[in-house]
Amino acid sequence: MDDKIKILIVSVLKPADDVRSYHKIGKSLAQTNKYEVNIIGFDSKMKAKEKNISLHPIFKFKRNSISRLFAPIKVLRKYIELKPKLIIVNTPELLPVMMIIKILFGTKIIYDVQENYQLNVKYSTLYSAIKKRLISTYLSTIENLSKYFTSGYLLAEEVYEKQLEFIDNQNYITVLNKSILPVKSEYKPIHIIPNHPINLVISGTLGREYGTLEGIEYCKYLNKNSYNVTLDIIGYSADNQYLEKIQNSIKNLSFINDRIENKPIPQQDIIEVIKKADMALLPYQLNPNLKDRFPTKIYDCIALGIPMIIPKNANWANFLSKYPASVSIDFNSPTKNELKDQLDRKSFYVQAPGKEIEWVIEEKKLVNFIEKILTK
């Protein structure tokens, strides 16, 4: 791999084998055989199985640990060891060390914007008003400064083109989190019968804005109102207080099976549970930070041919209506027949999805973008 261009992908709180960093961006670049891809991230038991990819799980601390303050130093040391020509960073707290690297070594930097971090803080329930103001000011400052040091931006959501002022007049592309799962070779129409047993699944990141507790309460409500529902929960949260609330909420409930952890669960484990479900439950709480985003989970469920129960979001519902792949309900104020009426009159996946849900479209954009930056 010595004759290949070295690229370093860096995150603090995501595992080294993170889906976007490793399975999407990392693999897409590695398979060109032009690049040696190194990925820094959180502790992971996985070893890279792909040619031209090396994982460096150098972080192992709790989200609020004092050890997190030393993450930039670890990144700088690893940078000096690897000497990459390009760094793709997806954590705003690492932008200052990226600026130092740019000044000292001239290395090209790309900021992969996976979230609108300032909106995250604004609508978070974890911080006091003073902390929100301080964190928002810090984020605004370093993200605005980033345009003087970066060669380009990757945006994980189309809505960020409108929301993020610091990308104005900058070099950027959208690289959406579409599915890397093999699309089913054949889709047969699915009809869910309301008074038959229905196995639901909540998967992935568990948290307040993802509506995990609301999803659990909704399943309880269904079982109290003549439905026969079971629920599988598989996912993680770094918020230990919220995890405790989930555990208390499902205690002694025989219709719920759970695998809940405080660190990311391998994607393949999650996919296997989703495959067994009749429907996926996506009880997102649609605050202004979330309503215009498009969760990867939607693309993955379409690829797997799993119908979804989603909140009332016109953007999601319009996209999913072409197959159709979902029903929309009000998780916060459910009514007894809201789900039944929709299931009675709807068959799912009458129309098979196409390339519009697949990562391959984003892959081509990404590879071309990286190549142009490296040849400048």
Q: Indicate if 310 and 343 belong to the same structural domain.
A: yes
CA-to-CA distance for 164 and 16, rounded, in angstroms?
27
Q: Indicate if 12 and 102 belong to the same structural domain.
A: yes
- Which three-class secondary structure state does DSSP give residue 327? strand
Give the sheet arrangement for strand 228-236, strand by strand: 256-261, 228-236, 197-205, 279-281, 308-311, 326-329
Q: Is residue 184 part of a domain?
A: no
- Which three-class secondary structure state does DSSP give residue 202? strand
Give pLDDT tens digits for 341-374. 999 999 999 999 999 999 999 999 999 999 999 9
Q: Round the average pLDDT of the chain to a whole number and report it.
A: 92
Q: Indicate if 210 and 322 belong to the same structural domain.
A: yes
Give pLDDT tens digits for 166-205. 999 999 999 999 999 988 878 999 999 998 999 999 999 9
- What pLDDT, on a 0 to 100 scale, did the predictor assign at position 66? 65
pLDDT for residue 2 is more than 70: no
Q: Indicate if 173 and 26 belong to the same structural domain.
A: yes
From residue 7, alpha-carbon distances to 4, 192, 232, 371 in Å are: 9, 47, 39, 12
Q: Is residue 140 part of a domain?
A: yes
Q: Indicate if 341 and 370 belong to the same structural domain.
A: no
- What pLDDT, on a 0 to 100 scale, did the predictor assign at position 376? 81
Q: Indicate if 202 and 137 belong to the same structural domain.
A: no
- What pLDDT, on a 0 to 100 scale, did the predictor assign at position 141? 97
Q: Is residue 190 part of a domain?
A: no
Q: Indicate if 162 and 28 belong to the same structural domain.
A: yes
Residue 306 CA from chain centroid, whole number: 18
Residue 202 near residue 232, CB atoms below 8 Å: yes
Q: Name 110's Cβ contacts closer than 8 Å, sequence gap at least 6.
A: 86, 87, 88, 89, 150, 151, 152, 153, 154, 370, 373
Q: Indicate if 168 and 201 belong to the same structural domain.
A: no
Q: Is residue 188 part of a domain?
A: no
Q: Is residue 304 part of a domain?
A: yes
Q: Is residue 192 part of a domain?
A: no
Amino acid letter, residue 317: A
pLDDT for residue 47 is more than 80: no
Q: Is residue 189 part of a domain?
A: no
Q: Indicate if 286 and 155 belong to the same structural domain.
A: no
pLDDT for residue 65 is more than 60: no
Q: Is residue 215 part of a domain?
A: yes
pTM of the model: 0.92
- What pLDDT, on a 0 to 100 scale, did the predictor assign at position 46? 61
Q: Indicate if 224 and 329 belong to the same structural domain.
A: yes
CA-to-CA distance for 156 and 147, rounded, in angstroms?
17
Report the CATH number at residue 12. Answer: 3.40.50.2000
- What pLDDT, on a 0 to 100 scale, did the predictor assign at position 127? 80
Q: Indicate if 29 and 77 belong to the same structural domain.
A: yes
- What pLDDT, on a 0 to 100 scale, did the predictor assign at position 61? 56
* Structural domains in the chain (count): 2
Q: 289 lies in which domain range?
A: 197-357
Q: Indicate if 346 and 370 belong to the same structural domain.
A: no
* Listed residue (309, 354, 308) closest to 331, CA to CA: 309
- What pLDDT, on a 0 to 100 scale, did the predictor assign at position 50? 82
